[in-house]
Amino acid sequence: MINNEYDSSFRSVKFLYKRVTDILENQFQLDNFFCPDLGEVSFEDLNVERTVNILMFGSFVRSFFELGHWPFKSIRIWVLSHSVKGFLINEFGLDDKSISVIPRNLILDGIDSPDIDWKENLELIYAGRLNEAKNIECLIHTVHSLQMKYDLNVKLTLLGDFDPQEKVYVEYKKRAQFKVEVISLIESLSWKQAPRILPFIEQDEWTKKEYVNPVFISLSTNIFEDYGVSVQQALNEGWPVIVSGWGGHLDITQDHYQVPYSLITAFDESAYRGEQIASYLLEAKKIRHIIDREFYLADTVEMIEINKMKHRAVKRYGAAAFSIMRSEWNELFFSKEGIQFIERYRKSFTQKEALCHDVLIVSDYYNNKDLFPDVLAFLDGAIQKSIEEKKGLLIFSYIELCSKEVWEKIMKSQRVYLGIRDVKNKLNTSYNKLCELFEEKDIVVLDVGK
């Protein structure tokens, strides 16, 4: 975490640190706090001979691996979401009672979201960092679809600064000039009223500006999304709130609107995702999460036990351990262990969803330029059908069929699209094998030529 007073994420960490330490002091009469994300606490301020209360925020994986470098004898672990707690328990073997979750409503209370009347003039507001992991392009396409396809009087305001740090996130590859790409995207589309981008203002001031029927929205799938200060501030103001089904958002106990994670990540193209999300929102019902409200004093853990857990994890990860410890998430896609780690992380930050999905399996023709127009035409039709049926469409190549996780998604799908060359050829073993495997499913075949 970069110590930068003008960085919105750092300001959120400072806000959370102050609120959490006040809660723990009042509730359990604790002191001796250490927050790795804050990066400001000196060891001179700590009594390392006593139990140190570790506040693990967004960078909790890196914080876990760093613990062995600190001169502590024993610790308690405090986190902000059940997604984080579940991952630490399942991934590293920590005991359930050694981690306590700070109830989000103690940090900042909220009010149930009122219903959204899409017939009204609405201002959808996102406040926070502007980067790929916040799915800003998808958000822009969602509002564009609401405006132009559904003829609604909805506008978008983005309050925030483009991420100055060269970070990479789960699901995303590093891209330069993200700000330029976002502005170019907005300018390339036709609008009733184009989105506006405003600098983020003070933590407690942004909700007090004048808006037209404000609705907060965040489609974030950021790997550090363990709380969401802006989300809770909007709930505190009594705004309608739309959030992704991801990470700390799954701990919201007030009525709100939730966009399933599988919708946000259904397609590679953000335009298709935006159209699908817009369609979903117009029929969405409010939900609330029922959370175990027990708030207890975490058990102490000896540092020698933490180091044993860390060593077992490093042995299991192999070379991927270095990327994990350095938060170099993009590097994890280059190893089997890294991909498996990401998949476990993703599962911890999502919930089981009833949303159905179709699957498109493409053959080696996918990169053949002569055949590509046929593929695009078919793909557009398949995606449109999935949107109309309120489904996701997951796209895989034949190469990916060796992945257990991919097979699980295929077997859970309702319809399988197969892109095969020369399907009439009886010797086409790929076609025959897949038809045999998916005989219980609705199979649609695309013949892309010989």
DSSP-derived secondary structure letter, 189: S
Nearest to 136, CA basis, from 54, 42, 218: 218
Does 325 fall in a domain?
A: no
Nearest to 447, CA basis, from 389, 345, 397, 374: 374
- Sheet with 415-420, edge to edge strand ranges: 392-397, 357-362, 415-420, 442-447
Same domain (yes/no): 169, 271: yes
Does 204 fall in a domain?
A: yes
DSSP-derived secondary structure letter, 163: -
Nearest to 301, CA basis, from 54, 16, 27: 54
Same domain (yes/no): 151, 45: no
Are 385 and 411 spatial neighbours (Cβ–Cβ below 8 Å)? no
Are 392 and 262 spatial neighbours (Cβ–Cβ below 8 Å)? yes
For residue 43, is pLDDT > 90?
no
Same domain (yes/no): 160, 269: yes
Are 421 and 431 spatial neighbours (Cβ–Cβ below 8 Å)? no
Domain count along the chain: 3
Same domain (yes/no): 273, 298: no
Are 256 and 242 spatial neighbours (Cβ–Cβ below 8 Å)? yes
Q: What's residue 202's pLDDT?
A: 74
CATH number at residue 438: 3.40.50
3-state DSSP helix/strand/coil percent for the chain, to nearest 5?
A: 45, 15, 40
The 10s digit of each residue's pLDDT in 51-67 is 999 999 999 999 999 88
Same domain (yes/no): 140, 236: yes
Q: What is the dihedral of CA 16, 17, 22, 24, to 10 degrees?
A: 100
Lookup result for tokens 């997951």: 394
Same domain (yes/no): 230, 157: yes
For residue 92, is pLDDT > 50?
yes
Does 112 fall in a domain?
A: no
For residue 325, is pLDDT > 70?
yes
For residue 282, is pLDDT > 90?
yes
The residue segments making up the domain with residue 68 are 8-103+294-318
Same domain (yes/no): 128, 265: yes
| Average pLDDT over every residue of 427-432 | 53
Q: What's residue 177's pLDDT?
A: 81
Same domain (yes/no): 268, 383: no
Same domain (yes/no): 305, 264: no
Q: What is the pTM of this model?
A: 0.79
Same domain (yes/no): 137, 262: yes
Same domain (yes/no): 372, 436: yes
Are 353 and 247 spatial neighbours (Cβ–Cβ below 8 Å)? no
SS3 at position 14: helix
Are 142 and 219 spatial neighbours (Cβ–Cβ below 8 Å)? yes
The 10s digit of each residue's pLDDT in 101-155 is 999 999 998 888 899 999 999 999 999 989 888 999 999 999 999 999 999 999 9
Work out whether the CA dihedral 53, 55, 60, 62 comes out positive or negative: negative
